[in-house]
Amino acid sequence: MCGIIGVLGNNEVAPILVEALKRLEYRGYDSAGIATVNAGTLDRRRAVGKLVNLSDLLVHDPLAGKAGIGHTRWATHGAPSVGNAHPHKAGPVAVVHNGIIENFRDLRAELAENGVGFETETDTETVALLTHHHMSQGDTPVEAARKTVARLDGAFALAFLFDGQDNLMVAARKGSPLAVGYGAGEMYIGSDAIALSPLTDRISYLEEGDIAVITRDSVEITDANGTIANREVRTIQIDATRIDKGGHKHFMAKEIAEQPGVIGQALQHYIGTGSDITLPGKGMDFSQIDRITMVACGTAFYACLTAKYWFEQIARLPVEVDVASEFRYREPPIPDRTLALFVSQSGETADTLAALRYCDGKASSIASVINVPESSIARESDLALPIYAGVEVGVASTKAFTCQLTVLFLLVLKAARDRGTLDDAGLAAHLDALRALPGVINVALGKNDAMRAAARKLSTARDVLFLGRGQMYPLALEGALKLKEISYIHAEAYASGELKHGPIALVDEEVPVIVMAPRDALFDKTVSNMQEVMARKGKVILISDAEGLGEASEGVWTSIEMPKVADALTPILYAIPAQLLAYHTAVAKGTDVDQPRNLAKSVTVE
């Protein structure tokens, strides 16, 4: 969950490291730090909290040098504090680390027996101390780093910098991604391609167990067996200029507003505008598949839950959906003719990646729906389907969710065609509806003022309930997740039919209940449940289309009108009010919308 950057450059490196850390801040923002080697001397600066605190510190207490490493932290071991901030330094070595060293307690005990003392609560300090220990026994920096890495259990990416060595970095990868960037007489390492994108477009990804010894004009990579390895140098395309707020107050607001454009982009990519349609999933034959296992975390998990309704209803294909952290340890049997399908914005979520690896060799095929084509999940899938959402910076996932749903829906259509459950006319109707979707979403975005007004009311609530039925149930779950993660208001979602089996006991005049109910085949059922809430003085915010509001809005606290869309696509459209309600509530409460407390964008530890 932390971000790592390393630069062997030809210019002062501190500002370059800080700029790169800005691009990595989505991985964590509990503290940040850099270390450089200047005239042979290793030194560091660290600050707790957001990166701006480190920038301020560097203004008053600059750090010179053309070689450096940097880190932005999401705390795992030890509270966010300057002492626990990276880089960790022991004698002549500084280390930055992403991941968890699982055997650090054993290593600490061993070092303590040798009289080594500790200054922090982190697992990372052990890495620095062990490397220092080996160097004090006569090992060169590279030998010491190698010996240390060989002792480490867990999932990690590491970068080492050494006193007296301004033309040397060592990088190691086991379980957490790390890329090496190639410049003109400069070399870089970074947690991801986004961090490196303004510095170079030529990168290679380290593989599991790799150690890279890097100088300004060379890189030597050895694999897990210590054998020299060649890692392909790829030219990546990341438009770094797009990583700004584009005039919006928050990245989240920008990313919500971008949805018509990016969904249009995804559709353009997969189905184009002409009549010659290619659905995603080339090479996959769903008539040879008996079931799908879908696995993901958080918002991506709710995208999977939504797709389950579609796969089962439109393609008549049974789907099981699981959260990755449960799936990976439950060791579920994977019957023959099972497609394992993973959904992840980052493509680096540790639990989802572990679940994918569990399925490797068991499922007939492994597919993924990802936003980062260079990610580990994409690279380890038989088929990776990009969602074309563009870089998503806000911790709360918005445009990635609707793009995931769009691509999953296209995959459902492909499955339905392969399995003969959708005829030409049915396919054409779905495609027409999809092509109209960006325009319909634009209309929904135009309801911003109504959402802001409703959010003002929500912002004083302590608890909020979301209700939905059928394919609107996963969306209710997503709405509750969005609200709690950025406004810190306790929110829960229930399938509306479940309410009277317990949760209705929570309802009173203090509890707003948000009902997601397009005027579809299940509308009357949902409205009955809504009436039960109102009979108990619950304050209902009803989100429906004109027809639905015309029939059922009497007596509700607030109503929000959505445009009409094809029934199957309502979960995509109704994501807009779910996102905007959460956004405006958070703004009204004054929380940190883009970087809510305790969270990180990319969850690369389990």
**Residues that are catalytic:** 2, 601
Stretch that binds ligand M6R, among 175-183, 200-208, 338-346, 496-504 (CB under 6 A): 338-346
Task: Please list, in sequence order, all residues whose beta carbon lies within 8 angstroms of the beta carbon of residue 100, skipping any fewer than 6 positions away.
Answer: 76, 77, 123, 154, 155, 156, 605, 606
Least distance to ligand M6R from the beta carbon of 346, Å? 3
Least distance to ligand M6R from the beta carbon of 302, Å? 8
User: How many CB atoms neighbour CB 29 within 10 A?
Assistant: 27
Tell me which DSSP letter residue 496 carries: G
Number of residues that bind ligand M6R (CB under 6 A): 16
The residue within the footprint of ligand M6R, chosen from 176, 345, 381, 402 (CB under 6 A), is: 345
Contact 37, 89 (CB under 8 A): no
C-beta closer to ligand M6R: residue 201 or 606: 606
Least distance to ligand M6R from the beta carbon of 189, Å? 22
Least distance to ligand M6R from the beta carbon of 371, Å? 8
Pairing of strands 319-323, 291-296: parallel
Write out the binding residues for ligand M6R, residues 262-291 only, by CB under 6 A.
Answer: none
CA nearest neighbour of 34 among 10, 13, 12? 13
The residue within the footprint of ligand M6R, chosen from 346, 368, 376, 585 (CB under 6 A), is: 346
Least distance to ligand M6R from the beta carbon of 586, Å? 12
Stretch that binds ligand M6R, among 58-66, 117-125, 295-303, 533-541 (CB under 6 A): 295-303
- The contact mask relative to ligand M6R for 396-415 (x = CB under 6 A, - = no) is xx------------------
Task: Please list, in sequence order, all residues whose beta carbon lies within 8 angstroms of the beta carbon of residue 598, skipping any fewer than 6 positions away.
Answer: none
C-beta closer to ligand M6R: residue 18 or 605: 605
Write out the binding residues for ligand M6R, residues 468-507 only, by CB under 6 A.
Answer: 481, 485
The residue within the footprint of ligand M6R, chosen from 165, 293, 299, 325 (CB under 6 A), is: 299
Separation CA 485–CA 395 (nearest Å) = 9
Separation CA 560–CA 326 (nearest Å) = 36
User: Residue 208 corresponds to which amino acid?
Assistant: E
Task: Please give the structure tokens belonging to residue 281.
Answer: 């999933």
CA nearest neighbour of 399 among 267, 576, 561, 241? 576
Q: Any contact of residue 349 with ligand M6R (CB under 6 A)?
A: yes
Q: Any contact of residue 300 with ligand M6R (CB under 6 A)?
A: yes
Separation CA 486–CA 596 (nearest Å) = 6
Write the CA distances from 47 to 54, 270, 301, integer angstroms: 5, 45, 35
The residue within the footprint of ligand M6R, chosen from 84, 191, 344, 558 (CB under 6 A), is: 344
C-beta closer to ligand M6R: residue 265 or 602: 602
- The contact mask relative to ligand M6R for 563-602 (x = CB under 6 A, - = no) is ---------------------------------------x
Q: Any contact of residue 197 with ligand M6R (CB under 6 A)?
A: no
The residue within the footprint of ligand M6R, chosen from 176, 352, 526, 585 (CB under 6 A), is: 352
Separation CA 437–CA 572 (nearest Å) = 9
Least distance to ligand M6R from the beta carbon of 124, Å? 23
In three-state form (DSSP H/G/I as H, E/B as E, the rest C), the secondary structure along 438-484 is: HHHHHHHHCCHHHHHHHHHHHCCCCEEEEEECCCHHHHHHHHHHHHH
Q: Any contact of residue 297 with ligand M6R (CB under 6 A)?
A: yes
Least distance to ligand M6R from the beta carbon of 278, Å? 26
Stretch that binds ligand M6R, among 391-399, 459-467, 487-495, 586-594 (CB under 6 A): 391-399
C-beta closer to ligand M6R: residue 74 or 160: 74
- The neighbouring-strand residues paired with 157 are 98, 173
Separation CA 538–CA 530 (nearest Å) = 9
Least distance to ligand M6R from the beta carbon of 396, Å? 4
Q: Any contact of residue 529 with ligand M6R (CB under 6 A)?
A: no
CA nearest neighbour of 587 among 394, 412, 442? 394
C-beta closer to ligand M6R: residue 293 or 344: 344
Task: Please give the structure tokens belonging to residue 121.
Answer: 């609560």
CA nearest neighbour of 375 among 351, 396, 348, 353? 348
- Residue of minimal Cβ distance to ligand M6R: 298
Separation CA 494–CA 479 (nearest Å) = 11
Residues contributing to the site for ligand M6R (CB under 6 A): 297-300, 344-346, 349, 352, 395-397, 481, 485, 602-603
